[in-house]
């Protein structure tokens, strides 16, 4: 045989890279292959994927504690904040995907694998991917006949549209047949559309499958649950009851049934069906839920039995008292006392207050319940008009309430406004008391003042005696007398430090130690001048922020010292009589204070607290006591507006007639008659416009205090005028530039709420509010405000063209020629301005930031170690280590270390009490260096350190502005 001249080259074998599923699909679908593939597809990867998904979704818990005093969330978690591990869900997707790739596609468990993938995407929050997966199941696994080339979804069955896959599950063997995942995918597709807020599409899909004759009955409960959830998300709570009753009957999970029954009980309670509500709460208890839900259900039953027909108030209260004594409910005693207070509140507010105090005395880690108890006490005092107590308890509520607290906006608003209310109420009470004493006969007045002085001296002696006893027991009397009560309430004192021991030779007697210390100081701090407070930065920022007037403990300006406030230990009748309004001039001044306080209170009640009834009562009192009040016209006009708002037709007509007859030529009569100030002539308008121009010119030059003074003068001179919205908007801009935080925001919000009908003001005020949300660009933003003059009246008005820095990007010069053109244009503009007689003034220097914190070297100080979101175990360890350190290194110096919760996120260790700034700085330097050795398990990046005076600590605790103080500390102290 002849050999080929050229040897043959073997052709490379083509590798078949098709997935195993395609290769298996080419083989015959025999009974043996069907059994093997179905069994492996079900009990291998799919089984493990389902099991892992079940563990993930049932172990997730909702962030924060459920507030059972409000309607519970439909699910015990929020899908947007599940906190699920993305890696775990990816593992579920991977397992189900492998099952699809390696098993025969004719297996009846492949559609279940796709369903698990869609569910995993759903819990990941990947709504779009989940929706596409469920849609794929709908089209891929739709039923079709063998002779059909293409699947057609939707057919007419029994004169109705059908899109579901028919499941033939006749008993008894039908129950063991495989179910089509495609039908489940319809339900999950509806849930996904709800999370995507596609409510119309979800409702359409649910309507179709609900009336589908082939949609399986096994999914009727799941479909009812999705329908209930859709109505719940849209807050159509009355319609939730019927589908939720259907859904709860088909629920197999006991915890899910208990939650649905509890929500049904709440809905029945809200819609005044107490008997049905009690039945639902009893069903909750039968499900044996978690202890908290079981307890809350019993609480709801007790509250309903106290008020519903057939119930007993005394029996409900007695039942709660028995629960409070049982050991089973020890951890819920705070909530038991809270509910007892709610039950007795309508009949006996004083007893309710006692129960609430007992609730706060109970040791508990439930911050939500503590916030509810504090707010309940504050609400009672608020209703009783005891505003000082109400303010204090609202402040305590704000301190402990978690971020998800429902009434946080109300609490913060009332806490802020009630401080202004308290100042004016106490001013009225004080002046009334002084006037009553001054009105006494001279002999009786002298006897009264002598008794008061004796009482004050006795109380001062008792305080001094107690302080001495505290000092003998190792307690700092100054700290106990002057410290912020919130500090004493929140700080857990550490064990007593050891007594003072001998420390050896004094440092300054040892020349070697002195020389070494001086060298170390110079190396570390440089050549510092011999001066007091040498540790402070020499920037001058602190001096610029010193107060010009005396302030009280709340930071409110007091003006001059109170003449009637004599030292308690040396009080005499003559000293107390020095501040009494005994002369006509003093009496007139006292009455002016009362008049102004009533006038301001009426506005605060109506504008800030939305309490129009109390505002009317206040102004009625003002008119009765001072009929010739300088703002009488405005007061009567306000009464007309407020009575109209409340629908008091007769009273509103009376005050309207009063304005029109007695003050017919006033601006308020013009507003009532014409709807605006029609009677102002052109001369008056020009005068007001000029005043506005002056205010704005001062503002544009950076003289904010001068602009504010001119605005107040305009308000006093012209009162309410046609340019009032512009004046108020400009005032908000001034405040915003002074303080871009809470006060600036509140000023802008006041303008928005006050002028809701003025579209121009609304637009500009909302733009200012938006700018506050971009504080980093605020300075640039304010520098680009462009104020235009109206060409007709040549008056600066509120036509403000607002462009944000991010809307005006810096130009990019593509070539040198472009840069030259820009510079030439700028030079030409300057020449043109010079030829027009205009002066090109430089920009004003930036204002120094205003801070509420002040430097006081002689004030007692704390050293603070501040943590963010640290665990209790870490705090306890740090507390123990520093206590041991102080016992070893500072024995006898009475340095106490304790933990303090400023906010739920900010926790501190506070070292107290150092008599002055220098002592605090010395200790600060020491532990700042040794902290890594004292608490080695805590990373330095997890905490920060600073010193703070007692007065500044009170301010920081009131505002919760720890970042503001840290900035103040960095600017005013040298720490490196």
What is the CB-side half-sphere exposure of residue 485 using CA atoms within 13 A?
Answer: 6
State whether residue 740 is helix, strand or coil.
coil
Cα(377)–Cα(390) distance, integer angstroms: 7
54 to 83, 182, 222, 225: CA distances (angstroms):
15, 20, 17, 19
Predicted local distance difference test score (pLDDT) of residue 501: 41
Q: Find out whether 378 and 412 touch, Cβ atoms under 8 Å.
A: no
The tokens 């064990």 sit on which residue?
A: 495
350 Cβ contact partners less than 8 Å away, ≥ 6 residues apart:
none
Cα–Cα distance measured from residue 623 to residue 666, given in angstroms and rounded to the nearest whole number: 18
Per the listing, tokens 């801070």 go with 851
Q: Residue 348 is encoded by which pair of tokens?
A: 């006996």
For residue 828, the model assigns a pLDDT of 43
- Which residues does residue 863 pair with via DSSP β-bridges, in sequence order? 911, 947
Query: What is the C-alpha separation between 886 and 670, in angstroms, rounded?
Result: 74
Q: Could you tell me the two tokens for 716?
A: 């006093």
What tokens does 652 get?
């509103």
Burial of 526 (0-12, 13-18, 19+ CB in 10 A): exposed
Query: Which residues, given as ranges, of the chain have pLDDT below 50?
Result: 62-64, 81, 477-504, 538-564, 679, 776-849
Residue of 445, 451, 742, 423 whose CA lies nearest to 601: 423
Structure tokens at 674: 């014409």
908, containing H or E segment = strand 906-914
- DSSP secondary structure string for all residues of 574-643: HHHHTTS--SHHHHHHHHHHHHHHHHHHHHIIIIIS--HHHHHHHHHHHHHH-TT-TTHHHHHHHHHHHH
Residue 967 has phi, psi (to 5 degrees) of -65, -40
**CA–CA distances in Å: residue 511 to residues 514, 515, 517, 526, 764:** 5, 6, 10, 21, 69
C-alpha atoms less than 13 angstroms from C-alpha of 787 in its C-beta half-sphere: 18
Distances (CA, A) of 838 to 397, 784, 831, 834, 841: 57, 20, 10, 6, 9
CA dihedral 658, 661, 665, 670 (to 10 degrees): 60
Torsion of CA 483, 489, 491, 496, to 10 degrees: 80
Alpha-carbon gap, residue 514 to 532, rounded angstroms: 20
- Cα 250 to Cα 181, 230, 453: the distances in Å are 18, 18, 77
Q: Which residues pair with 683 in a beta bridge?
A: none
Structure confidence at residue 284 (pLDDT) = 93
Q: Report the pLDDT value the prediction gives residue 566, as an integer from 0 to 100.
A: 52
Q: What is the pLDDT of residue 900?
A: 82
Contact (Cβ atoms closer than 8 angstroms) between residue 919 and residue 861:
yes
Residue 12 has what DSSP assignment?
A: P
Of 119, 134, 114, 118, nearest in space to 201 by CA: 134
CB-CB neighbours of 594 under 10 Å: 20
Parallel, antiparallel, or unpaired: how do β-strands 786-789 and 796-801 relate? Answer: antiparallel
Amino acid 152: pLDDT: 62
Q: Report pLDDT for 681.
A: 66
CA gap 369, 358 in Å, rounded:
13
Residue 224 CA to residue 220 CA, distance in Å, equals 6
Residue 680 CA neighbour count, 13 Å, CB half: 18
For the record, the structure tokens of 518 come out as: 């001086």
Q: Give residue-wise pLDDT tens across range 786-818.
A: 444 444 444 433 333 333 333 333 334 334 334
The phi and psi torsions of 122 (rounded to 5 degrees) equal: -60, -45
Supply the pLDDT for residue 112. Answer: 93
Cis omega (within 30 of 0) on the bond before 627? no
Peptide bond into 500 cis (omega under 30): no
CB atoms within 10 A of CB 767: 15
| Whether this model's pTM surpasses 0.85 | no
Strands 796-801 and 943-949 turn out to be: unpaired
Separation CA 358–CA 498 (nearest Å)? 35
**Cβ–Cβ < 8 Å for 389, 425:** no
Task: For CA atoms 816, 817, 823, 826, give the dihedral sign.
Answer: negative
Cα–chain-centroid distance for residue 755? 26
pLDDT of residue 149: 61
d(CA 329, CA 326): 6
For residue 901, the cross-strand partners are 907
- The dihedrals phi and psi of 973, each to the nearest 5 degrees, come to -130, 145
Name residue 750's beta-bridge partners. none
3-state helix, strand, coil in the chain (%, to 5): 65, 5, 30
Q: Which pLDDT value is given to residue 222?
A: 92
Q: Which pLDDT belongs to residue 481?
A: 41
For helices 632-646 and 584-603, angle between their N-to-C axes, nearest 10 degrees? 30
Please give the Cα distance from 738 to 744 (Å, whole number).
Answer: 8
d(CA 115, CA 180): 10
Q: Do residues 221 and 251 touch, judged by C-beta distance below 8 A?
A: yes
End-to-end CA distance of the chain: 98
Contact 643, 652 (CB under 8 A): yes
pLDDT digits (tens, 9 = 90+) for 370-382: 999 999 999 999 8
Structural contact between residues 324 and 291, judged by C-beta atoms closer than 8 angstroms: no
The CA distance from 39 to 50, in Å, is: 15
Contact partners, residue 219, CB within 8 Å, separation at least 6: 183, 184, 187
For 921-950, give the secondary structure using H, E and C.
HHHHHHHHHHHHHHCCCCCHHHEEEEEEEH
Residue 898 pairs in a beta bridge with 910
CA-to-CA distance for 298 and 306, rounded, in angstroms? 12
Q: What is the pLDDT of residue 573?
A: 79
């Amino acid at each position: 045989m002849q050999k080929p001249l050229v040897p043959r080259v073997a052709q490379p074998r083509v590798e078949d890279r098709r997935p195993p599923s395609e290769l298996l699909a080419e083989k015959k679908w025999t009974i043996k292959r069907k059994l093997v593939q179905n069994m492996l597809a079900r009990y291998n990867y799919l089984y493990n994927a389902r099991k892992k998904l079940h563990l993930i979704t049932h172990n997730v818990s909702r962030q924060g504690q459920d507030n059972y005093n409000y309607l519970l969330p439909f699910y015990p978690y929020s899908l947007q904040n599940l906190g699920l591990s993305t890696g775990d869900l990816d593992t579920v997707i991977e397992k189900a995907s492998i099952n699809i790739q390696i098993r025969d596609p004719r297996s009846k468990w492949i559609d279940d694998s796709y369903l698990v993938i869609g569910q995993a995407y759903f819990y990941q929050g990947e709504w779009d991917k989940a929706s596409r997966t469920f849609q794929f199941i709908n089209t891929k696994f739709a039923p079709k006949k063998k002779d059909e080339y293409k699947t057609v979804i939707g057919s007419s069955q029994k004169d109705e549209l059908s899109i579901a896959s028919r499941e033939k599950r006749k008993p008894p063997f039908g129950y063991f047949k495989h179910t089509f995942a495609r039908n489940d995918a319809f339900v999950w597709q509806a849930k996904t559309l709800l999370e995507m807020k596609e409510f119309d599409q979800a409702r359409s899909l649910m309507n179709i499958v609900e009336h589908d004759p082939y949609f399986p009955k096994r999914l009727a409960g799941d479909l009812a649950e999705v329908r209930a959830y859709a109505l719940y998300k849209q807050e159509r709570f009355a319609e939730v009851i019927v589908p939720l009753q259907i859904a709860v009957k088909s629920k197999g999970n006991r915890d899910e049934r208990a939650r649905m029954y509890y929500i049904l009980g709440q809905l029945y309670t809200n819609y005044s069906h107490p008997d049905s509500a009690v039945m639902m709460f009893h069903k909750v208890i039968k499900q044996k839920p978690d202890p908290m839900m079981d307890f809350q259900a019993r609480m709801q039953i007790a509250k309903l039995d106290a008020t519903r027909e057939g119930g007993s108030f005394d029996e409900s209260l007695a039942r709660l008292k028995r629960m409070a004594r049982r050991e089973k409910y020890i951890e819920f005693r705070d909530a038991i006392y809270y509910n007892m207070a709610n039950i007795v509140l309508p009949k006996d507010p004083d007893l309710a207050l006692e129960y609430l105090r007992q609730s706060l005395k109970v040791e508990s880690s439930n911050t939500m319940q503590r916030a509810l108890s504090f707010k309940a006490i504050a609400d009672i005092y608020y209703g009783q008009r005891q505003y000082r107590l109400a303010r204090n308890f609202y402040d305590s509520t704000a301190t402990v309430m978690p971020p998800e607290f429902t009434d946080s906006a109300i609490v913060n608003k009332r806490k802020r406004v009630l401080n202004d209310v308290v100042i004016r109420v106490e001013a009225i009470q004080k002046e009334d008391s002084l006037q009553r004493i001054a009105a006494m006969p001279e002999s009786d007045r002298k006897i009264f003042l002598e008794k008061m002085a004796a009482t004050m001296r006795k109380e001062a002696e008792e305080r001094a005696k107690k302080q001495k006893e505290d000092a003998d027991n190792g307690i700092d009397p100054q700290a106990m007398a002057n410290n912020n009560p919130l500090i004493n309430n929140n700080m857990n004192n550490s064990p007593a430090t050891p007594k003072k021991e001998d420390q050896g030779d004094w440092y300054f007697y040892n020349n070697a130690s002195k020389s070494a210390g001086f060298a170390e100081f110079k190396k570390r701090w440089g050549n510092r001048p011999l001066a007091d407070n040498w540790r402070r930065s020499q920037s001058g920022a602190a001096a610029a922020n010193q107060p010009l007037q005396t302030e009280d403990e709340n930071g409110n300006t007091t003006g001059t010292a109170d003449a009637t406030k004599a030292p308690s230990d040396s009080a005499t009748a003559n000293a107390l009589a020095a501040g009494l309004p005994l002369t006509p001039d003093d009496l007139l001044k006292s009455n002016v204070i009362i008049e102004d306080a009533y006038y301001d209170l009426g506005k605060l009640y109506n504008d800030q607290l939305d309490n129009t009834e109390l505002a009317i009562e206040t102004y009625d009192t003002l008119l009765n006591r001072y009929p010739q009040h300088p703002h009488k016209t405005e007061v009567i006009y306000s009464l007309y507006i407020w009575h109209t708002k409340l629908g008091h037709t007769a009273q509103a007509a009376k005050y309207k007639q009063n304005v029109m007859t007695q003050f017919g030529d006033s601006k308020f009569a013009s507003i009532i008659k014409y709807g605006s100030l029609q009677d102002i002539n052109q001369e008056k308008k020009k005068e007001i416009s000029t005043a506005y121009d002056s205010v704005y010119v001062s503002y544009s030059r950076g003289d904010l205090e001068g602009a504010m003074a001119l605005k107040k003068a305009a308000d006093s001179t012209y009162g309410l005028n046609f340019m009032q919205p512009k004046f108020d908007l400009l005032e908000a801009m001034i405040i915003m530039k002074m303080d871009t935080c809470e006060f600036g925001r509140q000023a802008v919000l006041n303008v928005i709420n006050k002028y809701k009908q003025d579209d121009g003001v609304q637009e500009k005020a909302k733009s200012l509010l938006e700018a506050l949300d971009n504080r980093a660009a605020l300075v640039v933003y304010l520098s680009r405000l462009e104020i235009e003059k109206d060409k007709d009246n040549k008056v600066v008005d509120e036509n403000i063209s607002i462009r944000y820095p991010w809307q005006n990007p810096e130009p990019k010069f593509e070539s040198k020629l472009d840069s030259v053109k820009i510079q030439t244009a700028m030079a030409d503009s300057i020449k043109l301005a010079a030829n027009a007689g205009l002066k090109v003034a430089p920009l004003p220097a930036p204002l120094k930031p205003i801070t509420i914190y002040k430097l006081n070297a002689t004030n007692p100080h704390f050293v603070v170690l501040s943590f963010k979101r640290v665990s209790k175990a870490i705090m306890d360890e740090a507390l123990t280590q520093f206590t041991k350190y102080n016992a070893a290194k500072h024995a006898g110096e009475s340095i106490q270390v304790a933990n303090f919760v400023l906010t739920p996120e900010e926790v501190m260790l506070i070292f107290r009490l150092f008599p002055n700034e220098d002592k605090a700085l010395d200790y600060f330097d020491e532990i700042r260096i040794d902290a890594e050795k004292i608490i080695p398990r805590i990373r330095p990046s997890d905490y920060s350190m600073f010193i703070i005076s007692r007065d500044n600590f009170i301010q920081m605790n009131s505002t919760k502005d720890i970042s503001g103080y840290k900035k103040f500390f960095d600017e005013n102290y040298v720490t490196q």
